Structures are given as C-alpha cells and as structure tokens.
Amino acid sequence: MKLKVLGCSGGIGGAQARTTSFLVDEDILVDCGTGVGDLELDALARIDHIFISHAHLDHIAALPLLIDSVGDSRGAPIIIHATAETIRILHSHVFNWLIWPDFSTIPDRHRPFIRFQPIRVNETVRLGRRSITAQPAHHTVPAVSFCLDSGAGQLIYSGDTAYCPELIAAINAQPALRHLIIETAFSDDQRGLALASRHLCPGMVVEMLAELVVSPEVHISHLKPGQGDRIMQQIVAHEPRLPPQRLVQGQVLEF
C-alpha cells in the first residue's frame, strides 16, 4: 500500500499548510482536510472510501465539497467509514440541509451520493487484501486512530489524541509496523493548552514513544503553523529512543 500525504498541518497559511488528509493507493482517503482540494477532478472521482477519525473541521473541511464535485459522475456512492458518534455529528451539523445538503438522500435514498458505514473501535474493514482497523484515541470529541495493513506491513495514524494507553497497546500489538504517524500539535510551552484540548506536546509524545516495544519510523504531524520548527527541536531535545521525522505534504509512505 502507498499513503500520500495531501495535508498534515494543524492549520492553514501558505502553500505547505494543508490540513490532515491522506490518499491511500488511489481509492481511499483517511480524513478529508483541506489537502484534498489539491487533487484533480478525475482523482477525486476515483475515491471510493473515506475513513474519518473524528468530526473536527480541519479533518472534514473538504468532505462536503468533494461529494458535491463528483457525486453525480460516479456509478456508486462514496462510503464514509466513521464511528456512530461521528456520523451523528456530521448529520446534525454538516449534512443537515442548512450547512450542506444531505447527500445520503440525494438524488434519492436508493441511489445516494454517499453512504455512511458505522465502525467501532477494534473493528476491521477489509478492502480486498487491504484492511483498515479503527483503534483507540483520546480527544475532545469521539475519535479513533487507524491501523492500515497491506498484508505485508502496517501503518498507524494516531488521529488527534492526547496520551492514550489503549493506543500504545494497539501500536505494540503490530510487530510488522513500519510507520507511525503521530500528532504533536503544541510546543512544550503550551502543555496546558495541549492537555485542555487533548492534543500532544513534545514531552507527552516522547513519553508515549518510550512505551513502545516496536520500532517503526515515526512521523510527526498536525504541527501548528509557525510552530513546527520549535516543536521538532523540542522533541529532539528530549532524546527519544525512536527519533521522529517531520511529516511533509507530498510525502509518500509505502508498507
């Protein structure tokens, strides 16, 4: 499997600041932030499945526009995989006919542009030889992380999370884990803000990494614009056992 980083920033402001979205092979999106908008129309039309970690705007911003752009040109609905709580939030606050049409009923309920597929923590969705499993995360709204498995190796994406022992256990249960994408939204100077918003700062992400018994390549995402260099310097200063790299837009990870 190949994962291309369409966006991995914790905000906007410049050509390299696109919010979280990953294209897996050519037919899967993991989260649907502003980075999706850089795809050409034919690439958007090839997306069959979208896995949403949680309903915060930076992770779903492009979702309504994507569906509006390609829904009537496809022969089948786009399947949106998310927890029941996240689907409820999307229905109530986005696809509610006030903010955006309910594309799960357009053009009619028998032939909709999108179909919501609820997933539970630890549930696996199999797409041919590939599988994607929802795993724990700890955030201010219901949220999950995802483990992507090609059959030959795994990649785990933390989503937005605070320190989460259940996620650490899930990571350690993947002996063939090749890549770990983990967020670090705030600097150590903003540890209080990180705790309040249930994000990670360098000290906390290094604590999580110290509990890992597996040794994947570690990629840091969700850096707040203007804070990226400082956050990465602080992570390095903690001297983690697994030295992380900064995830960048356009990067491709294979596993």
**pLDDT of amino acid 160:** 98
Q: What angle do CA 6, 66, 99 make, to 5 degrees?
A: 120
Within the chain, residue ranges assigned H as helices are 41-45, 57-60, 63-70, 84-93, 165-172, 191-197, 202-210, 228-237
**pLDDT of amino acid 207:** 97
For 204-242, what is each residue's pLDDT tens digit? 999 999 999 999 999 999 999 999 999 999 999 999 999
**pLDDT of amino acid 8:** 98
**pLDDT of amino acid 92:** 97
For 122-148, what is each residue's pLDDT tens digit? 999 999 999 999 999 999 999 999 999
d(CA 54, CA 160): 8
In order of their start, the domains of the chain are: 2-254 (3.60.15.10)
**pLDDT of amino acid 225:** 94
d(CA 193, CA 30): 26
35: Cβ contacts below 8 Å, ≥ 6 apart = 5, 6, 7, 8, 18, 19, 20, 21, 62, 249
Measured in degrees and rounded to the nearest 5, phi and psi for residue 16 equal -100, 10
95 burial type by CB count under 10 A (0-12 exposed, 13-18 middle, 19+ buried): buried
Enumerate the β-bridge partners of residue 255: none
**pLDDT of amino acid 68:** 97
pLDDT class of 247 with cuts at 50, 70, 90: very high
Q: Omega into 107 within 30° of 0, i.e. cis? A: yes
**pLDDT of amino acid 17:** 95
**pLDDT of amino acid 188:** 98
d(CA 83, CA 130): 20
Mean pLDDT of the chain: 97
61: Cβ contacts below 8 Å, ≥ 6 apart = 19, 32, 33, 34
For 45-92, what is each residue's pLDDT tens digit? 999 999 999 999 999 999 999 999 999 999 999 999 999 999 999 999
d(CA 217, CA 200): 18
